[in-house]
A and B are shown apart, each in its own frame.
Chain A
Amino acid sequence: MTTLTFPLSRIEGHARVVIDARGGVVQSAKFQATEFRGFVYLVQGAPAEQMPVIVPRICGVCSTAHHVAAVKALEDAYGVTPPPLALTIRELLMLGQLLQNQATSLFIFTMPDRLGVDSIFDVDATELDGDALAGVAARALQVRQAGTHLITLAGGQFIHPVKAVVGGVTGGISAEAASAMRAELADALPVACALFDTYWDYSLALSERLGTWGDDAPACYLTAVSGTQPNYYGDFLRLMGCEGGDVCAQFPAREFRAFLTVEEAEYSYAAQTSYQGNVLRANSLARANLVDSLGTPCANEYLQRFHREFGQPAHAILLFDLARGIELVYAIERAMGILAGPLDGAETRIPYEPRDGEGYGLVEAPRGPLIHHYRIEDGLIAQAEFVIPTVHNVLAIERALRVAAERYITPDRVNLELERAVGRVVRAFDPCIACATH
């Protein structure tokens, strides 16, 4: 037996891929998450109302999603409906998170794979395509920062935000601050589009060199958005079956167990999800497959091109990355639209009475639907459950790794392209290990 172990970089957290082959025949491909902090245990006995401050620390990359999911879970338990202005500001928070994350994943995590460098900070534009790549790191950080500034504006601080509270948000956004943010986003939009165009071109060149976009068998898709002008604040989960077509199931977070099977694995600290025995996929490609139109001009044009060139549903692995770029543009345009309206109204939160019981909070995080579930007794957390988007993708990652391994491992030898392929496959799913293991 030959065991190949690939440490992973340019993803969030600690994980590795282990591929076993015998006589050039692939036996298994495992995705191992190698860290564990135990938030399910850490929050035991914590006053329920402190969850929105404690649980963002599950992940510094996804802290906004955890912050909002925690508040929504408590509101579900307490029976509170926040005022419309609060919901709008929370949508802005989720858009800031989306913008920040997709810029990071696209340009810092996966662009180096297209350019053959170890890091975006290593790109020497003079040796590559001068014009398109000049100052690529600085431009990528500029776009990314527009996202972090948006989170700061709507959330107080961009990592571990604080402004969403049970019943609403701690305050609105002044017209002056909204206008300044809008101007920053307007500056970032053409930069983001130009970077994404370059990214698309380099991805196309990569697919031509490899002879594939990373073909894999069809999968089922899971997301909390669909239709037109998706709202990442989240309402229902939706499933698309392997055959594509219409949504085959739509359900609230509290019913997720009837549709999703989540199982622990002994070789990893991350669990894995399946749907009626089928491989499931979440994240950007799930959304691109379930969303018909985005309702903002530039992003929608990219989406139509994507659907035209790759079909709907599309299944190839590297298309996750392209779909992320479309959402990057959408997040900027949609946030600009929201910031044009009044956000400094008087009613930002409503009073509520805490009570014991159970609550579920759902958001569409950049990596897919995130559910927080709390059981509250005597005002304290008796049980907490975190249903994590990356976990939904674990089996899909392993299947795609196996396809890549079978492509590059032959009885003669292991093609050196395998190591790069492992990196590309895993990064296409943009897994977050801190979240997956929590």
Chain B
Amino acid sequence: MKRFAVLQLSGCAGCEVALLNAEAWVAEYKLVYMPLVVSAEDVPDVDVLLISGGVRTDEDLYKLRRSVKNARQVVAVGTCAISGGVANLGNREEVRTFFLAQPDRPHVPRLLPKSHPVDTFVAVDLYMPGCPPTSELFMAALTNPHEFQASKVVCQECGRQKHKDMKPAHLLGFQQGEVLPDVCLINQGYLCVGSSTRGGCRAPCPRAGHPCVGCRGPSDVFIEKESAVWFTSIKRVFAAMTNVPEEEIVRGLRSPQLALFLFQFSDYADNTTAGGDHRPRPKERVL
């Protein structure tokens, strides 16, 4: 029986909870380390090490570097481990000053000056983005990631119909309006980025009537490119499907809600002046 472990760095445990829902591994795999559900002191030798969360404290960094030595395969799980995710909002210069002004706590792990993705420090064999990744993705990562079948983008998995003659003049706030069932959310004036977000999640959010915020990050078309290419593409989608002025789209695309998406571009953290350690992830290694 293959052995696997889950190392949780600074994150929300959402990835771990999603794994618990993929109960099929219980019969096929031996879970040897996962502090959320197993009492064990250290990461032993494993076939697969799943790592969730960002590197935020010096203890995170120590555990990370120590654990990967015992693993044959390293999987970065969830958007935080891959690009910092929502925590990257704290790497904005004006917000970092608040962190740096935190009172010194001598008895607990020191905060690093900023949050880092896992591959800043260790080699990663497979990336599994999502906030969190679905249970189906977890099973695919554990069993055979190369056989996983999914559409290229969330848009193709959503099932809502696009209408050529339904062109909103302005964006609706994320919280506003009455969502029509079965009609594309862009046609209804929502800033949905499902048209370029990596597929494989089966589009739970747009199906439930909420625009895709891009937690799975860029699709293969964009993942090795710079964020400017994505900005241009999204602007083009909205120009074709709506009458919303371009500046409204641009403003919306740079909002914190879409941080989950944006920070996955290799150059984007640099643009917000706090980055420098991201690099493009080769698409063959992204689930």
Q: Are B107 and A32 in contact (CB under 8 A)?
A: yes
A1-26 CB contacts (< 8 Å) to partner B: 7-14, 18
Q: Are B38 and A119 in contact (CB under 8 A)?
A: yes
Known: A159-B132, A160-B132. A434 touches B255 (CB 8 A): no
Q: Once bound together, how far apart are the Cα atoms of A349 and B18, in whole Å?
A: 29
Q: Are A57 and B107 in contact (CB under 8 A)?
A: no
Q: Are A351 and B176 in contact (CB under 8 A)?
A: yes
Contacts of A74 in B (CB 8 A): 175
Contacts of B245 in A (CB 8 A): none
Task: Please classify how large the interface on chain B is, using the bins under 10, 10 to 19, 20 to 34, 35 or more.
Answer: 35 or more
Q: Are B210 and A141 in contact (CB under 8 A)?
A: no
B15-46 CB contacts (< 8 Å) to partner A: 15-18, 20-21, 23, 26, 31, 35-41
Contacts of B255 in A (CB 8 A): 46-47, 50
A67 to chain B, nearest CB (A): 11
Contacts of B94 in A (CB 8 A): 44-45
Contacts of B20 in A (CB 8 A): 104, 108, 141, 144
Q: Once bound together, how far apart are the Cα atoms of A7 and B40, in whole Å?
A: 10
Contacts of A148 in B (CB 8 A): 21
B92-116 CB contact bits vs A (8 Å, 1 = yes)? Answer: 0011001100110111110100000
The answer, yes or no, to whether A278 is at the interface (CB within 8 Å) is no
28 A-B pairs in the complex with CB atoms less than 8 angstroms apart: A10-B39, A34-B59, A34-B109, A41-B98, A42-B86, A42-B87, A44-B94, A45-B256, A46-B256, A49-B176, A52-B175, A53-B174, A53-B210, A54-B86, A60-B16, A61-B13, A63-B14, A118-B40, A119-B39, A121-B37, A156-B204, A156-B208, A157-B205, A264-B103, A267-B108, A269-B108, A423-B39, A434-B11
Instruction: Please provide the 9 A-B residue pairs with the shortest distance between their CB atoms, ordered closest to farther.
Output: A60-B14, A156-B208, A170-B209, A162-B210, A50-B257, A119-B38, A267-B107, A46-B256, A166-B175
Binding site for B on A (CB under 8 A): 7-14, 18, 30, 32-38, 40-47, 49-50, 52-54, 57-61, 63, 74, 104, 108-109, 112, 118-122, 137-138, 141, 144-145, 148, 152, 155-160, 162-163, 165-167, 170-171, 264, 266-269, 349, 351-352, 354, 423, 434
Beyond A53-B257, A121-B31, 6 additional pairs, beta carbon < 8 A: A9-B38, A30-B107, A47-B256, A49-B173, A53-B213, A166-B176
